[in-house]
Amino acid sequence: MCGIIGYVGKKEALPIILDGLHRLEYRGYDSAGVAVQSSVGIKTARAVGKVAALAERCEGKSLAGTAGIGHTRWATHGKPSEKNTHPHTDCTKSFFIAHNGIIENFQELKEQLSKIGHTFKSETDSEVIAHLIEDAYKKTLNLEQAVQSALRKLRGTYGLAVISSLEPERIIAARMGSPIVIGFGEGENFVASDASPLLSYTRTMLYLEDGEMATLTPQAHTVRTLNDKIVMRSAEMIEWDANKIQKGGFSHFTLKEIMEGPKVIENTLRGRLIAEGGLARLGGLQTISEKLRTAKRIIIIACGTAFHAAQVGEYMLEEYAGIPVEVEFASEFRYRKPIINSETIVIAISQSGETADTLEAIREAKRKGATVLGIVNIVGSTIAREVDAGVYNHAGPEVSVLSTKAYISQLVVLALLTIHIGRERQMSLSVGRRIAKELQELPKKMEKIFESAKNIKSLAKKYAKYEHMLYLGRKYNFATAFEGALKVKEASYIHAEGCGAGEMKHGFIAMIDKEFPTVAMALQDSVYDKMLSNIQEIKARSGRVFAIATEGDKKVAKFADDVVFIPQTLEMLSPILAVIPLQLFAYYLTLERNLDPDRPRNLAKSVTVE
C-alpha cells in the first residue's frame, strides 16, 4: 500500500528511483511520481497509472541529479489524479515529501495553515506535511529541526521521505506506524518502504522504529527520535537477493509463487522437523517454552488470507494439542474487550509483518498481559520486532498481491506449532511421527497436483462466463472454501462467497440455480458423506458443481459436474494440498477475463493503514 524509494549518492538518481518504483508495483498503487534534486532546484514528474507511464513522462524532462525521492500512491484522500500524486511540495517549492499513511488531523492543520497564507493544490492529507515543514524552516533554518517540528504536530501514521532544495544531497526519513527501511552503500544511501527495491544495490539495512527519524547524506547517516535523542542500532543483513523477486520465466508472479509451493514447504520445514522423535524444533520459541507448556488458551489474530490460515490452525491445535483456541479478526480485536491474562498466548499471523490492524492488536494484547507470538515472513518487520517470540515462514519474497505461497507456509508453520505444543501436552509419539512423516511427503504430493494444471485451465475457461460462485467446505476445509472464494474475488472480480457447508441451507441455497455454480471441497475425510449430501442438494436445484476430491474416489464423479483430484494425506494437512487447485483455478479464471492477476484493482500487498 503506497511505496517510497529515495536515493542520495554519486550516481544519477532517476534510474535508481524508477527501478525502485517498478519493484514496488506489487504493493498496489494508482499513480506514481518522482522529485530529483538538480543544479537548479528540484524537478518533478507525475503520472496516473503504471510506473511505465511515469517513465515515459520523465523522458521529456530534465531530471538529472544525484539525490531524489519517488512514490507509488494508493488513493485514500482524493481520487487518483496528477494533482494528488506524490511527491507533494510547499508554497515555495523548496520542500518535497513522499508519504505513506494517513494524517488524521490533516483537516485541522490545513485550516490553520490556510489562515496564515498557505495555498494547497491537492486533495490529499499528505500535502499538509510539506507546508508544516516550510513553516517550521522559516524559524529554524535547519531541515532536520523543521521536519521534527512538523512531525510533532501530526496525529496518525506516516512513513516519510523529505528532500529540500535549501539543503541538497540530504534526505530525511521518518516513521510512525508505516514501515521505513534505510539501505547503506559505499558513498550512497537509500530509503524505502520495504527492502525489495533496495536488494539490487545493498543488503545492509536498518529498519526505523516508530518515532524515529533518519538523516541521510552520501557518506553518512544519523538516526534520532523526535525528541532529538541519538539512536545507536546496528544494521541487519537481508538474506533475500534481487533474483528472487524476478518472474523466472513465468508469465506472472502469481503463477511462479503458486508453483514454488513444494520448495516453500521444504524451506519451512528445514531444520525444524525431527521426524523420528515426532517433534518440531522451533528455536524462536525457546524463550517462552514454559509459558507455552502451561498456557490455558490461545487466541490467533490475523487479517485476510492469514485469517483463513488461522482458522485451519484452530482445528489443528484443538484436536492435536488439546488447548482451547479462538480466531479473531485483528481489525476488530481491540474494539472489543477481549478477556486476556498472563496464561493467554496470542499468535499474530502476517505475511508482511507490517499489517496495521494486526500490529495494533498485538500492542493491545501485550498491554493486557498476554504472551504474543508472531508468524511472519519478513525478517526485521515491525511485528517480528514487537512480539515476544515467533517463527519465520521462510517462504521467500511474495510479490503478487495475491497471497499464495505465504498461505502454504503459514499452514505448515501452524502444523509444526501443533506438534511442538502437542508433544509437550497429550500428543503421543506415534501421532507426532505420523504428522511429521506426512509433512515430509507434502512437496511431492503437491507436485502431483501441478500435473492437473492443464485440466484446471480448461475448467477456468468453462467457468469464466459466470458472475457468481459459491465455495463450500467443512471442518479443516471450511477455511479452504473461504480462501478459494477470496482468491477468485481478488483476482477475477467474480462475486464468490465462501460458506461453511453446514450453513448452506441457512440462506445460501436460495442463490443456487444454473447460473450460480458451486466449488465443493469433497475430500474423503471425516465429513465426506455430509459434503456429498450438500452436493446432491445443489444438483437437485440445477446448480453446477466443481469438486475438489481425493485420488481414487469414484463416487464423487457421479454427483459433481467437474472434478479435480488431489493426493490423500492426513485430514489436518489436507488444506495445504486442497488450496492449490483453487489457487490455480483463480489464476486461470483471471487470465480468461483478460485481467492482471499480479495487480488486482484497489488492492495492496501490505495493508499498512487502517
Q: Are residues 184 and 221 in the same domain?
A: yes
Euclidean distance between CA atoms 525 and 475, whole angstroms: 9
Is 608 within the bounds of a domain?
no
pLDDT beyond 70 at 228: yes
**DSSP sequence for 86-124:** SSEE-TTS-EEEEEES-BTTHHHHHHHHHHTT----SS-
* Sheet with strand 204-207: strands edge to edge: 41-48, 31-38, 67-73, 3-8, 189-192, 181-184, 204-207, 236-237
Could you report the per-residue pLDDT of 440-449, keeping only the tens digit for each? 999 999 999 9
Euclidean distance between CA atoms 35 and 46, whole angstroms: 9
Is 427 within the bounds of a domain?
yes
Is 32 within the bounds of a domain?
yes
**Quick check: 190 and 6 in contact, CB under 8 A?**
yes
Q: Are residues 466 and 429 in the same domain?
A: no
Q: Are residues 270 and 297 in the same domain?
A: yes
Could you report the per-residue pLDDT of 507-534, keeping only the tens digit for each? 888 888 899 999 999 999 999 999 999 9
**Quick check: 585 and 486 in contact, CB under 8 A?**
no
**Residues identified as active-site:** 2, 605
Euclidean distance between CA atoms 451 and 446, whole angstroms: 9
pLDDT of 1 reads: 60
Whole-number percent of the chain with pLDDT over 90: 71
Could you report the per-residue pLDDT of 381-401, keeping only the tens digit for each? 889 889 999 999 988 888 888
Q: Are residues 375 and 472 in the same domain?
A: no
pLDDT beyond 90 at 61: no
Entry pTM: 0.79
Is 609 within the bounds of a domain?
no
Could you report the per-residue pLDDT of 187-204, keeping only the tens digit for each? 999 999 988 889 889 989
Euclidean distance between CA atoms 281 and 266, whole angstroms: 15
Could you report the per-residue pLDDT of 291-327, keeping only the tens digit for each? 998 899 999 999 999 999 999 999 999 999 999 999 9
Euclidean distance between CA atoms 174 and 326, whole angstroms: 36
Domain boundary (224, 244, 264) is at 244
How is residue 129 written as a grid cell?
506535511
Residue numbers of the domain that contains 439: 247-448
Q: Are residues 165 and 20 in the same domain?
A: yes
Q: Are residues 359 and 227 in the same domain?
A: no
Is 610 within the bounds of a domain?
no
Q: Are residues 537 and 555 in the same domain?
A: yes
Q: Are residues 378 and 311 in the same domain?
A: yes
Which residue reads 472489543 in cell numbers?
A: 336
pLDDT beyond 60 at 609: no
pLDDT of 557 reads: 87
Q: Are residues 438 and 477 in the same domain?
A: no
Long-range Cβ contact pairs of 184-187 (< 8 A, separation 24 or more): 184/221, 184/235, 185/9, 187/9, 187/10, 187/218, 187/219
pLDDT beyond 80 at 603: no
Q: Are residues 24 and 139 in the same domain?
A: yes
Residue 396, Ramachandran bin (φ over 0: left; ψ between -120 and 50: alpha; else beta):
left
pLDDT of 604 reads: 61
pLDDT of 227 reads: 87
We report the CATH number of the domain holding residue 529 as 3.40.50.10490
Q: Which of helix, strand or coil describes residue 263?
A: helix
Is 605 within the bounds of a domain?
no
Q: Are residues 213 and 299 in the same domain?
A: no
**Quick check: 371 and 354 in contact, CB under 8 A?**
no
Is 604 within the bounds of a domain?
no
Whole-number percent of the chain with pLDDT over 70: 97
Is 607 within the bounds of a domain?
no
Domain boundary (413, 433, 448) is at 448
Which residue reads 513553516 in cell numbers?
A: 135
Residues 426-440, mean pLDDT to the nearest whole number: 95
We report the CATH number of the domain holding residue 80 as 3.60.20.10
**Quick check: 246 and 400 in contact, CB under 8 A?**
no
Could you report the per-residue pLDDT of 73-102, keeping only the tens digit for each? 877 778 889 999 999 999 999 999 999 988
Euclidean distance between CA atoms 359 and 369, whole angstroms: 16
Read off the amino acid at residue 49.
Answer: G
What is the number of domains present in the chain?
3
Q: Are residues 162 and 265 in the same domain?
A: no
Strand pairing category for 41-48 and 31-38: antiparallel
In sequence order, the β-bridge partners of residue 376 are 350, 392
Euclidean distance between CA atoms 480 and 242, whole angstroms: 32
> In the chain, what is the straight-line distance between the N-terminal and C-terminal CA atoms, in Å?
11
pLDDT of 610 reads: 56
pLDDT of 242 reads: 56
pLDDT beyond 70 at 240: no
Domain boundary (190, 225, 244) is at 244
In sequence order, the β-bridge partners of residue 48 are 31
